[in-house]
Amino acid sequence: MKQVKWRWFLVALVLMIFCPPGAVWAAPSVPNSSASAARILISGHILDSHKDPVQDADINVWINGKLHRGTKAEKMLSQGDGEYLVDLELNHSLPADSSISVEVHKSSFKLVRETFTLSQSARRGNEFFFQKDFSLKRVLGPAFWIATLVLLGVYAMITLEILHRTIVAMLGAAVILAVSAIFGSTNPAYHIISFETAMHKIDLNVILLLLGMMVIVGVLKESGIFQWSAARCFAAARGNILVLAFILMAFTAVTSAFLDNVTTMLLVAPVTIEIALALGISPLALLIPETLASNVGGTATLIGDPPNIMIGSYAGLSFLSFMQNLAIICLIIMVPLFIISKLFYGKEYHEGKVEDPAAFARALKEEHRITDRKLLGVGLAVLALVICLFLTHSIWHMEVSVAALFGASLFFAYALLTGRVRVQEFMEKEIDWATLLFFLFLFIIIGAVEESGLLSLIADWILEASRGHMTAAICMILWGSAIMSAFIDNIPFTATMLPITAYLTQVIPGSQSGVLWWALALGACLGGNGTMIGASANVVTVGIAEARGHNISFLKFMKIGFLYMVISVAIANVYLLVFY
């Protein structure tokens, strides 16, 4: 009997623990989903004052004064195109007069909050739809000042050559990402740029194009073609040093247009120094005009100068577009370079002597001859294929980097299979990894500055100063780019100006023809001639000359370079105003 009582006691205890009062005896109820659940969908775009999309903006939704996180909206952010979608699934119904508030916030922007009622929605059953676009205004908060100071610090250190520019760019990018991760996680005002957004800011088209061209030039150099060409230039001059200077300038300009000016000077400068010493003249009389010519030639094509590569990739301009719009003006600008070179170095050209020009030409040919004709033949065929792809890449909807990498892979594979190139040695010597990394870190810094609002501020200032007139905008971008590029490296400056020029192209009447892009290209490339630190080709040439014991001072270069820069930019200004 006692055992039965204990059994009933245990059953009663279990029922009391696991079943609430009334649950055991109550009849099961069927929930009415249409009456007890609601779904709210809010979508639209988040734009800034320039009508550009705002990415990674935080979105909070308040329902009847209470912050709500739905089952599908635990992390609500705007996408890369500024589009957002909030999908909230509630486990209860809402009265028609319910208040819905959407709050949008991002660092360097003013918080925006808009409130509306459930009755204002489009409805389908228990699903409520809202379409809301938001416009965010910039604020100059901590993120803005940190990004601006980092950019100015990077510019200053590159200009003063305190550290190698790659190290400087890496330091700047690391500071921005570290501040965003450490301080931005606790205080959104310090969030400059997310790691994911920073990765999207890196323009791989530019980096891979440079890599492809480095491989092509590096393998082609093994044939001896560039040294042979320089020796041929002397033979063509027939001992006349003034004519030799003109030929070298023309050769450098044309080569720079299709190989890039930095690579051209790396190949031509050492041979030029040897020729100058043999002639009994200062190598600077040939090197400085050659450097100026390399920057002019590089201006003519998409791949000739790093700023053009960046402009073409950002704006979607084709190789053919660059040649059609810039090649003619570059030819015209070469004429005053010949004249200025004669005025500055004519006396030195006249004093240089070669007792037996024919014998000297034969000696140069013997010393600088083609070392591998088969490699040269394959290389020229590959280079011709790559240039054809450059000219027609817009037809195939192909990025120029793909054309360069395709040619580089063919050429590199041939050189490896035939044993003409050693992989390890080639990778270490011929590919300028420091430059490629510099571009990578620079894109992160410029992306951070763009996110923080500095570039929008500059664009608004130019728009206000030009009063929306295309003529004024052309002059401001051209001369501003030229003067700034003369004193700071034109690569980081061009990266800074890309989004600014894109915005001005959209809002200034008549500029949709792309004239502002050509103004930026001419200003950045020609402005690099102003000083010895204005362009990468200048820095490379100065380094080669110093390694051979021939110092090029800042003022010595600027004396001819800045004068030529002013003249060439003035001619380019007239060209843009007349033809556009």
Range with the lowest mean pLDDT among 59-63, 191-195, 268-272?
A: 268-272
Instruction: Assign 334 a pLDDT band (cuts: 50, 70, 90).
Output: very high
| Rounded Cα distance, 403 and 387, in Å | 8
Range with the lowest mean pLDDT among 242-246, 357-361, 455-459?
A: 357-361
* SS3 (DSSP) at 64: coil
| Rounded Cα distance, 216 and 226, in Å | 13
| Rounded Cα distance, 491 and 540, in Å | 14
Say if residue 349 is in the same domain as residue 432. yes
For the domain that residue 66 is a member of, what is the CATH number? 2.60.130.10
**Higher-scoring residue by pLDDT: 430, 339:** 339
Say if residue 482 is in the same domain as residue 499. yes
Residues of the domain holding 443 = 204-450+465-579
Say if residue 193 is in the same domain as residue 82. no
pLDDT exceeds cutoff 50 at 73? no
| Rounded Cα distance, 229 and 225, in Å | 6
pLDDT exceeds cutoff 80 at 373? yes
pLDDT exceeds cutoff 70 at 18? no
CA atoms within 13 A on the CB side of 467: 2
| Rounded Cα distance, 383 and 388, in Å | 9
> Torsions phi, psi of 411, nearest 5?
-65, -45
* The predicted structure's pLDDT at residue 31: 39
CB 579 within 8 A of CB 550: no
Query: DSSP readout, 214-281?
Result: HHHHHHHHTTTHHHHHHHHHHHHHTT-HHHHHHHHHHHHHHHHHHH-HHHHHHHHHHHHHHHHHHHTS
Residue 4 lies in a domain: no
CB 128 within 8 A of CB 39: yes
Question: By percentage, how much of the chain surpasses pLDDT 90?
Answer: 29
Say if residue 74 is in the same domain as residue 177. no
CB 106 within 8 A of CB 56: yes
Q: Which of 287, 243, 236, 285 is nearest to 264 (CA)?
A: 287
| Rounded Cα distance, 569 and 561, in Å | 12
Say if residue 359 is in the same domain as residue 507. yes
Instruction: Assign 26 a pLDDT band (cuts: 50, 70, 90).
Output: very low
Instruction: Assign 356 a pLDDT band (cuts: 50, 70, 90).
Output: low
Q: Which of 470, 473, 436 is nearest to 458 (CA)?
A: 473
> Could you give the dihedral angle defined by the CA atoms of residues 147, 148, 151 and 156, in that order, rounded to the nearest 10 degrees?
-140
* The predicted structure's pLDDT at residue 1: 46
The DSSP call for residue 282 is -
CB 57 within 8 A of CB 105: yes
Q: Structural domain tally of the chain? A: 3
The mean of the pLDDT values for the chain is 84
Q: Within 10 A of 550 (CB to CB), how many other CB atoms are there?
A: 16
Say if residue 73 is in the same domain as residue 185. no
Question: Letter for the amino acid at 274?
Answer: E
CA atoms within 13 A on the CB side of 81: 4
**Higher-scoring residue by pLDDT: 479, 553:** 479
Question: Letter for the amino acid at 337?
Answer: L
**Higher-scoring residue by pLDDT: 270, 445:** 445
Residue 72 lies in a domain: yes
CA distances from 282 to 264, 295, 361 (A): 20, 21, 19
* The predicted structure's pLDDT at residue 220: 81
- pLDDT tens-digit map of 28-42: 333 343 445 788 889
Residue 517 lies in a domain: yes
* The predicted structure's pLDDT at residue 278: 76
pLDDT exceeds cutoff 70 at 268? yes
Inter-helix orientation angle 284-299/261-279, to 10°: 160
Give the domain-ending residue among 92, 114, 136: 136
Residue 181 lies in a domain: yes
| Rounded Cα distance, 339 and 354, in Å | 23
Say if residue 504 is in the same domain as residue 423. yes
CA distances from 136 to 52, 106, 393 (A): 10, 9, 38
| Rounded Cα distance, 119 and 441, in Å | 50
Residue 5 lies in a domain: no
Most confident of 125-129, 494-498, 522-526, 543-547: 522-526
* The predicted structure's pLDDT at residue 75: 55
Say if residue 192 is in the same domain as residue 317. no
* The predicted structure's pLDDT at residue 354: 65
Give the domain-ending residue among 99, 114, 136: 136
* The predicted structure's pLDDT at residue 23: 43
| Rounded Cα distance, 289 and 334, in Å | 10
* SS3 (DSSP) at 81: coil
| Rounded Cα distance, 453 and 455, in Å | 6
Residue 24 lies in a domain: no
Residue 437 lies in a domain: yes
Instruction: Assign 14 a pLDDT band (cuts: 50, 70, 90).
Output: very low
Say if residue 187 is in the same domain as residue 59. no
CB 141 within 8 A of CB 453: no
CB 291 within 8 A of CB 518: no
Say if residue 227 is in the same domain as residue 99. no
Q: Which of 268, 270, 237, 246 is nearest to 354 (CA)?
A: 237
Give the domain-ending residue among 182, 201, 220: 201
Say if residue 168 is in the same domain as residue 191. yes
Residue 457 lies in a domain: no
| Rounded Cα distance, 59 and 78, in Å | 8
Say if residue 220 is in the same domain as residue 268. yes
